[in-house]
Every structure is written in C-alpha cells, then in structure tokens.
Amino acid sequence: MKSFLTKWRYWTAIAFGLLTHLNLFGLRMQKLCAFGYSCHGCPWASFGCPIGTISYQLSIKKLPFTVIGLLLLIGFSVGRAVCGILCPFGLIQDLLYKIKTPKLKLPKYAKYIKYVILAILVIGIPYFMGQDISGYIKITNIEIKKNEQNKKYPEITVTNTSFKTVKNPTIRFFQRNKDGSIINYYDKEFDIEIKPNETKILKGNRIMLPRKNVIYEAHSPQGTISKSLPIPLLYFCRICQIGTFTAAIPVTIENKNWSNFLKTSYFRLILGILTFICIIFISRFYCRVFCPIGAIYGLTNKFALYKPYCDKTKCVKCGKCSSVCPIELNVPNEIGNSECITCGDCIKVCPTKALKRKVTI
C-alpha cells in the first residue's frame, strides 16, 4: 500500500481515468477524442476512443486527420509517457501484476504483435473492406407490421437525399424502452440501389422479443450524419479487452441482457479473461502485445521531445533499473526506445543518478 501511495504516476492515471469518465457525473463530450482509451460504448465514458474513430473514418473512406494529428502531436511531445503515466488500464495491469504468483518473461517477438494488430485490424480491414457513403439516405418513417404468420416485422421508408446512388445500405433496427435503453437490435444489409431523390420501402427481419410500450428505431451507416451511426467494421473494437470490461459488460448489466451478450460476445469475453490472467503473470502484457495506441506512440517515442536517457559515464551496471522496469527492458541500452513507457521507475532506483529525463527542442 505504501508503494502505491508514493508512486505519483498511479495518481495521474487515476486522475486521467476520472477525466475520461466524466459521464459518471453527467458530462459527455464524445465528439472529442481522448488521447488514450475511452470506449464509445462505455456508459460512463465522456470522450471518444481514437482507435474506434480512426477505424470508423477509414471504413467510410475518410482520413481521420484530426485524430491522427492529435495522436502524433502527443506522441512527438511525450511519446509513450501516456502509457506509463496516464493510462488507467496500465495502472490496473501494474496492480494485477503485484499479485504474488510465479512470473513469466515475454518473448522478444511478442512486441511486434501490436503493430500487426494496428496495421490489419485498425487500418487495413476497415479501409479495404469499408464502403463509400458519399451518398446519404434519410429514414422518414418506420412502422411495425405483421405478415401472414402473424409475426411482427419493421417496415421503413428511406429516401436518397444526395446526388449519388446509394448501394447496399445497411440498416440497424433498434428496440428501445421509453427511457432510451436498448432492448434488442440487429443489422440488415439490403441488396438494392437507391438513386438520387428516390424513395423506397424496405422490410426488415422478424422482430425478436416483441413487447408492449417499445420504441422502434432504424439507423444506417448511410443515414444522415445527425443520426447515431453504427460501427460496422471495427474488428479491433469487437475484441478489445478494455471495451469488454468497461463497456460491453456494464451495458449488459444495465440492460439485463446476458443471454444475448453470451451468445454474441463469448469470444471477446474469453479473450478478455485470458488477457487478465496473462497480466497477472506477465508485466504489462496488454501494453506490450495488444495495444494499438501503444504501437502508435511507440513509433514516435524515439523522436519525442520529452524522454528519458542514460548517461553511461555514470552507469555502474548494477542492474537495479532493469529489475524494476515494467516492460522488462535492458534499461541502460534500451531506455527511450519504442517499448519504453517513460514511467520513471528506473530513474528512482538508480544509485548514481545516471538515468534522467530531458526535453530536447
């Protein structure tokens, strides 16, 4: 407990965690992206997640200049100090690793996995499998009707309000309680084209869990921008362990819809549990293997204005710095590299003050 109280970076991580979850107090600013995790699906999040925003923008063939600019600005300023000083999930990992168990070393090649995840799941798949939504459709009416078997289904009226043909629109159908909470939803892609100024009536699938006093809605990735947009190709978000425990599970608890969660999200739940187990045995496992934000900051770390360094003329090679490094670096030779999270733990234990921080301009 004493070591926790004396580590200032733990308190900065707690402060940043509270800042990004101001919706606990009713303040929500999701049009702005945090420079760390803040899952859009989290009922308490006040900011948006940059990874989700990058993937979504790429999936609709837009370049997320603002978010990338923010990440590069932070990266070239302080590098992975965000990971070591501000990240709340980093703090959780540090605390879990303190559980007394046999500890394991991570293979050297494992650090490259997060770059593969960034390249394929965050950038590649959304961009190359995404859709151009330069044309927009407007949903003007939704009705609930019955077929011959007396089963309910939604019928919506859509109009293409743009000057381009909209192809294969995907509609997300919602059932909500009057308080706005989601009961159920599903996505349906329609194999049609809607020409400019053309209006069509589309029929959804049979509605599950029909009940009284339910509000029915329909949104579309090709709907008007003011609508709430689903995120169709965010494969990283679907497996994001932070999203699982800060968003998916709390929302499921709130809606009391465990059967649907376990049916659709069992893989991400299993992956999340396995990740937490690995964190107990391997220091900063998620940061070092999975985190795409860490990968982005890692690419800028060597060029950051604020970073630690080793004065090798003072180093006596005692090994104390490497023994406390949460990333398990050979600190005198690897401090400040792409994996270093600039946490400062090594600086505190250096007996000769060979390790220091510097600002280069």
Q: What is the pLDDT, as a whole number, of residue 224?
A: 36
- Interatomic CA distance for residues 22 and 20, integer angstroms: 6
- Interatomic CA distance for residues 41 and 61, integer angstroms: 22
Residue 231 CA: distances (Å) to CA of 260, 261, 273, 343: 18, 17, 24, 34
Please give the biggest Cα pair distance in the chain: 85
- Interatomic CA distance for residues 288 and 298, integer angstroms: 10
CA angle 80-84-88, nearest 5°? 115
- Interatomic CA distance for residues 181 and 172, integer angstroms: 15
Report which secondary-structure segment, H or E, holds 89.
helix 88-97
- Interatomic CA distance for residues 12 and 84, integer angstroms: 10
Residue 291 and residue 49 in contact, taking contact as beta carbons nearer than 8 Å: no
φ/ψ of residue 300, rounded to 5: -100, -5
238: tokens are: 């679907």
Q: How many residues does the chain have?
A: 361
Of residues 227, 246, 238, the one with CA closest to residue 47: 246
Q: What is the pLDDT, as a whole number, of residue 3?
A: 58
Identify the sign of the CA torsion 350, 353, 359, 361: negative
Residue 233 and residue 126 in contact, taking contact as beta carbons nearer than 8 Å: yes
Domain boundaries, the chain: 2-130+234-297, 137-219, 305-359
- Interatomic CA distance for residues 62 and 324, integer angstroms: 43
Q: What is the pLDDT, as a whole number, of residue 349?
A: 93
pLDDT in tens, the chain (361 residues): 445 545 788 899 999 988 888 887 777 776 788 888 788 778 888 888 899 889 888 887 788 899 999 999 999 999 999 999 999 999 999 999 999 999 999 998 999 999 999 999 999 988 887 765 555 677 777 777 877 777 777 888 888 776 667 777 777 777 777 666 777 777 778 888 888 788 888 887 776 544 555 666 665 544 433 333 344 467 888 888 888 888 888 878 877 778 777 777 788 889 999 999 999 999 999 999 999 999 999 999 989 998 899 999 999 999 999 999 999 999 999 999 999 999 989 999 999 999 998 887 6
pTM (2 decimals)?
A: 0.72
CB atoms within 10 A of CB 92: 17
Select from 3.30.70.20, 3.40.50.1370, 3.40.50.410, 2.40.110.10 the CATH code of 305-359.
3.30.70.20
Select from 3.40.50.2000, 1.10.1370.30, 2.70.50.60, 1.10.630.10 the CATH code of 137-219.
2.70.50.60
- Interatomic CA distance for residues 225 and 57, integer angstroms: 13
Residue 203 and residue 154 in contact, taking contact as beta carbons nearer than 8 Å: yes
